[in-house]
Structure 1
Amino acid sequence: MKFVIPLPENQEEITIRELLENEWLIPRKVRHFLRTRKNVLCNDQAIMFHESVKAGDQITLIFEATDYALPTILPGNRQNLSILYEDEHFIILNKPYGIKTHPNQPDETDTLLNDLADYLAEKKQLPYVVHRLDKETSGAILFAKNPVVLPILGRMLEHKDIQRIYEAEVRGHFKTQVPFTISKKIGRHRHDRRMRTIDEKNGQTAITHVTPFKETSTTTWVTCQLDTGRTHQIRVHLESIGHPIIGDPLYEKRPTKNVSRLQLHAKELSLVHPFTKEQIRVLATPYLSNQNGESTGK
Structure 2
Amino acid sequence: MLKTVRKGEWIHLIIPMEWNGKTLEEVFRQIWEAPKKLTHTFRMENRILLDGVRVNWTLPLHSGEVLQMRLFTEEPLSVIPHFHDIDVLYEDDHVIVINKPPFMNTHPNDTNEDHTTLTNALAFYLQAKGENRNIRQVHRLDRDTSGAILFAKHALAGAILDKMLEKREIKRTYIAAVNGVFNQKKGRINAPIGKDRHHATRRRVSNTGQEAITNYHVLFEDKHKQISIVKCWLETGRTHQIRVHLSHTGHPIIGDILYGGEKKINRQALHAAKLEFHHPITQEKITCHAPVLDLQELFKQIDVYTL
Q: TM-score, normalised by structure 2?
A: 0.85
1:88 corresponds to:
93
Give the direction of change, closer, same or farther, for the CA distance of 1:114–1:293 in structure 2 (3 Å limit). Answer: closer
Matches within 5 A, 1:220-235: 220-235=228-243
**Shift >6 Å, 4+ stretches:** 63-66
Distance of 2:71 and 2:298 partners within structure 1: 49
2:3 corresponds to:
none
Q: Counterpart of 1:276 in 2: which secondary structure?
A: coil
Distance of 2:126 and 2:300 partners within structure 1: 40
Aligned residues: CA RMSD: 2.6
* Residue among 120, 124, 131 paired with 2:126: 120
Give the direction of change, closer, same or farther, for the CA distance of 1:22–1:108 in structure 2 (3 Å limit). Answer: same
State, as a whole percentage, how many aligned pairs show the same letter: 36
* Residue among 272, 277, 283 paired with 1:277: 283
Distance of 1:283 and 1:36 partners within structure 2: 40
Distance of 1:145 and 1:64 partners within structure 2: 9
The gaps in structure 2 that reach 5 residues or longer are: 1-7, 302-307
- Equivalenced residue count is 288
Matches within 5 A, 1:1-20: 2-7=9-14, 9=16, 11-13=18-20, 14-20=22-28
Q: Specify the code of the residue in structure 2 equivalent to 1:93.
A: I
Deviations, residues 228-247 of structure 1 (Å, cap 9, x unaligned): 10000000000001000011
Deviations, residues 203-260 of structure 1 (Å, cap 9, x unaligned): 111000011110123111101010110000000000001000011031125x243x23
Distance of 2:122 and 2:69 partners within structure 1: 25
Q: Specify the code of the residue in structure 2 equivalent to 1:192.
A: H
1:174 corresponds to:
182
CA contact (8 A) 1:208 1:226 kept: yes
Give 1:57 shift.
3.3
Q: Counterpart of 1:19 in 2: which secondary structure?
A: helix
* Residue among 109, 118, 125 paired with 1:104: 109
Give 1:148 shift.
1.8
Matched, 1:162 2:167: no
CA contact (8 A) 1:11 1:54 kept: no
CA contact (8 A) 2:216 2:233 kept: yes
Q: Counterpart of 1:115 in 2: which secondary structure?
A: helix
Matched, 1:187 2:194: yes
CA contact (8 A) 1:8 1:275 kept: no
Give 1:176 shift.
3.7
Give the direction of change, closer, same or farther, for the CA distance of 1:174–1:8 in structure 2 (3 Å limit). Answer: farther
Give 1:55 shift.
4.2
Deviations, residues 45-101 of structure 1 (Å, cap 9, x unaligned): 3321122224443311237979xx966111111x42110001111110000011011
Give 1:283 shift.
0.1
Distance of 2:139 and 2:254 partners within structure 1: 24
* Residue among 77, 80, 105 paired with 1:74: 80
Q: TM-score, normalised by structure 1?
A: 0.88
Matched, 1:44 2:52: yes
1:145 corresponds to:
153
The gaps in structure 1 that reach 5 residues or longer are: none
Give 1:293 shift.
6.0
Distance of 1:156 and 1:270 partners within structure 2: 11
Q: Specify the code of the residue in structure 2 equivalent to 1:138.
A: S
1:62 corresponds to:
70
CA contact (8 A) 2:218 2:231 kept: yes
Q: Specify the code of the residue in structure 2 equivalent to 1:181.
A: R
CA contact (8 A) 2:246 2:252 kept: yes
Give 1:285 shift.
1.1
Distance of 1:30 and 1:132 partners within structure 2: 23
Q: Counterpart of 1:120 in 2: which secondary structure?
A: helix
Q: Specify the code of the residue in structure 2 equivalent to 1:28.
A: K
2:305 corresponds to:
none
Q: Counterpart of 1:152 in 2: which secondary structure?
A: helix
1:243 corresponds to:
251
Give the direction of change, closer, same or farther, for the CA distance of 1:97–1:4 in structure 2 (3 Å limit). Answer: same
